Structure 1
């Protein structure tokens, strides 16, 4: 059998783009809501703010900010063209939102542009995270606040996806994994990168969120559907049946009911996020 390997970051997100909002199971949004609460306590986002949604994906951060401050000026950028295209479908007709394909390591903005800069679950996928951190510092105004996030623990993989893969392919020596370097699961590493970029006021914390969907069945379904396009694409139909049954069992055993970011009830497993808030 073939051995799944970590995928290139841009290729991963280009492939995942169409299913991304469902695939991330609300965890990105929950972490984003927490981050914005922390940032607003330091420097509130208002109509005079200029905000960067860096490594924006499908613009979860942008959507959350606009829901509270519709007239704020926002720039949303991502290295994956498919992600930006999906974001344009959501926000492309708004005069106060500018979208562009742009790597976080080479931001095409002048120094001191932004009052707020959010890189939510992006810097851990950068090819050169240190350079990306310096770009965040360079483009942030003095007195501005920036935040970057990462994962300390991927409960969706550890508690569900990986055990299901072991059940379907017990002799598979290498499991599929995201293109994240091990150091980005360490909160102190994330804080150190931002300090070395120039920030002196760096606040590191963790936040537990849930990866889920409205029901356990719908959560299993979206993982399998998306996986067929990526790490499950060479599975036989019999292996897929074993995988799906094991995934459902893992979600039942490790998961629980919870309140989703939209306020509705759902079913999910825990994820541990790393949050770094920096003031310039």
Structure 2
């Protein structure tokens, strides 16, 4: 993500500017990132112990990729709630999953959930926790809405060099100063010791921190960069704000960092998975 998820005021509405940003990020998100996210979702659901018949909350659902994966696991006797702070993201999730009978959608602030205590058997949060203004508050809410014995699991990015769009954001940061702060936010929970400390502080027990890496292969640089160049996700939306001359500079730098040939591209991506249980 390019901007931080922080409280602000815009046109008299708290957080309106940031919510508008998240809405923009919904544009083309799947085109740029879906194949990456899907690869790691089984690890997230495994960390949360999602199983048949469960009621699952997927917070920061984005376009509904993790919620869709949970639906396959919980089956017809289970239920999934797909929730996000962005109405546009929830709209994308609804388009993906709306035909399912056992899914509901909600616009929710992950730090102030509207659900009653002990509402869910499991909770997932895919690449969202690091954008909370106060991750500790979010984790406390995760714990509150879990039933005793339930687990919450969150995936987070580690370092820029091991994210799918990290090189693009690094190149753009030289021309869009706000991206430097946003990049710091993106990797703010990459340290496993800090993750464990936050989970412990929130009251979770039986904490597990694991990591998974995968090397993604694209047939050409254009196959990699093209979705971002067309405005895919928050990275692509930020790229489109640059003058054409700067876009060319960014593109050339990213291509050079990936070998410079324009041929096949390989990018290793690593996520950490942090989970804990309400006992």
Using structure 1 for the length normalisation, give the TM-score: 0.80
Number of matched residues?
Answer: 258
| Corresponding position of 1:277 | 275
Are the structure 2 counterparts of residues 106 and 243 from structure 1 closer, same or farther at C-alpha, using a change threshold of 3 Å? Answer: same
SS of match in other structure, 1:145: strand
- Pairwise CA RMSD: 3.0
Structure 1 position 154, deviation (Å) = 2.7
Question: Is 1:12 equivalent to 2:10 in the alignment?
Answer: no
In 2: Cα distance, 1:277 partner to 1:164 partner = 33
Change (3 A) 1:130 1:228: closer
Higher mean alpha-carbon deviation, 111-120 vs 17-26, is at: 17-26
Partner of 2:56: 51
Q: Does 1:242 align with 2:249?
A: yes
User: What displacement does 1:249 show?
Assistant: 3.2
- Pairing 1:42-191 to 2, within 5 Å after superposition: 45-46=51-52, 48-71=53-76, 72-155=78-161, 156=163, 160-162=167-169, 164-165=171-172, 172=175, 174=177, 176-177=179-180, 178=182, 180=185, 183-191=188-196
Alpha carbons of structure 1 residues 6 and 108: separation in structure 2 relative to 1, 3 Å: closer
**Which secondary structure state, in structure 2, belongs to the residue aligned with residue 65 of structure 1?**
helix
Q: 1:116 to 1:173 in 2, by over 3 A?
A: closer
Alpha-carbon distance between aligned partners in 2 of 1:26 and 1:83, rounded to the nearest angstrom: 17
- Contact 2:228-2:239 at 8 Å conserved across structures: no
Q: Could you tell me which residue of structure 2 aligns to residue 208 of structure 1?
A: 213
8 A contact 2:160–2:167 mirrored in 1? no
- Structure 2 CA distance for aligned equivalents of residues 53 and 15 of structure 1: 20
Could you tell me how far apart the structure 1 residues matched to 2:93 and 2:217 are? 22
Name stretches of at least 5 consecutive residues in structure 2 with no aligned partner.
Answer: 6-17
